[in-house]
Amino acid sequence: MNENSGLDFESAACPLPFQHTAQIVLGHGSGGKMSHDLVARLFVPSFDNPVLRAGDDAGVVELSIGERLAISTDSHVVWPLFFPGGDIGRLAICGTVNDVAVMGAEPKWITAGFILEEGLEVEILQRVIASMQTATAEAGIELIAGDTKVVQRGKADGLYINTTGIGIVRSGISPNGSRAEEGDIILLTGTIGDHGMAVVSARGDLGFTSSICSDTAPLNQMVRSALDAAGDGIHVMRDPTRGGLATTLNEIARQSGKGIVIEENMIPVKPPVRAACEMLGFDPLYVANEGKLVIFVRPHLAARTLAAVRACRYGEEAEIIGKVGNAPAGMVLMKTIFGSTRVVDMLAGEILPRIC
């Protein structure tokens, strides 16, 4: 180093950053004091628990030998951030809780990584956090680790959230897509298309106001009730999110190598959702849901599983919509309301980007 450079290091030192409180600034993503302040002020009060409070690099949880963990991660980029019936925060919790639960697991812990855009109003972030707190409380899970990064203005649409969920799989239970069996009855736990059309409506794309609300909800209680009713007689559970019911059924048909037949007149669709779909040229079978399950169950356990689901919050409108069999392997057929039968294929492209 040239000792005669004449630089005055004392005055060149970075001054203490101005304490921003109303807006996210780049410093909030620094990993330094401002990051810690952000976490301490906004996140910890909502999710306080011993694991998070320990403040280490990872949340450590005890596990006894023989127990299985179900772990799922999902990034959420829905636009707009708030929509009727939900917001990106509720979605980020529920989507991951549901993905863990459908494996037959009791979701226990969740982590959240936030990408924040410079200029984001802190008030908006606070609303999202409050919504996440409500959803974690409802699901009975704890947020045990998190991260915040900040990108420059224009590099993100306000905020994105990645969540990772961890659950303990119920012993003796292993529902998965490959287990669909000839004769299995297929339950759908309520109306389809609500979430996708609620987001479309929030974007102003309907051209009129509607009563459509997203179905975003944690379904672990419903999964618990269904498993209590039918145990390992439940062969498959899945939440028909992006790509809709049609895509989920096709995934299961392909995974299991079985054919599936559904009946159009048994699939519940709310009238405003059907009307909005018709107006925009969408088929509700392909529109996203965030609070519904499909359940494949042994025929003799179908009635009691249906009753158990209908007794749950979010499951009141559950229906039997079809069964496994009487269709070519790997295919989904639908008996239409006109009495004909048609092939229901997987969603080919993307009809509604940024839906979750």
Cβ–Cβ < 8 Å for 76, 354:
no
Nearer to Mg ion, 239 or 264 (CB): 239
Name the minimum Å distance from CB 127 to Mg ion.
Answer: 25
Residue 112 vs residues 155, 224, 301: alpha-carbon distances, Å: 20, 24, 37
Task: Name the one range near Mg ion by CB under 5 A: 170-178, 215-223, 234-242, 284-292.
Answer: 234-242
Name the minimum Å distance from CB 276 to Mg ion.
Answer: 24
Name the minimum Å distance from CB 144 to Mg ion.
Answer: 21
Q: Which of 184, 215, 239, 290 binds Mg ion (CB under 5 A)?
A: 239
Nearer to Mg ion, 239 or 319 (CB): 239
Q: What are phi and psi of 149, to 5 degrees?
A: -125, 150
For position 290 contacting Mg ion by CB under 5 A, the verdict is no
Place of tokens 């049609």: 246
Task: Name the one range near Mg ion by CB under 5 A: 3-11, 92-100, 263-271, 327-335.
Answer: 92-100
Nearer to Mg ion, 34 or 356 (CB): 356
Nearer to Mg ion, 142 or 239 (CB): 239
Q: What are phi and psi of 10, to 5 degrees?
A: -60, -50
For position 99 contacting Mg ion by CB under 5 A, the verdict is yes
For position 264 contacting Mg ion by CB under 5 A, the verdict is no
- Contacts with Mg ion: how many residues (CB under 5 A)? 2
Cβ–Cβ < 8 Å for 163, 88:
no
Q: 220-230 and 88-101 are packed helices; what angle lies between their axes, rounded to 10 degrees?
A: 20
Question: Percent helix, strand and coil across the chain, each rounded to 5?
Answer: 35, 20, 45
One-letter identity of residue 38: L
Name the minimum Å distance from CB 227 to Mg ion.
Answer: 17
| Six-digit token string for 348 | 């080919």
Task: Name the one range near Mg ion by CB under 5 A: 33-41, 125-133, 209-217, 239-247.
Answer: 239-247
Sites of contact with Mg ion (CB under 5 A): 99, 239
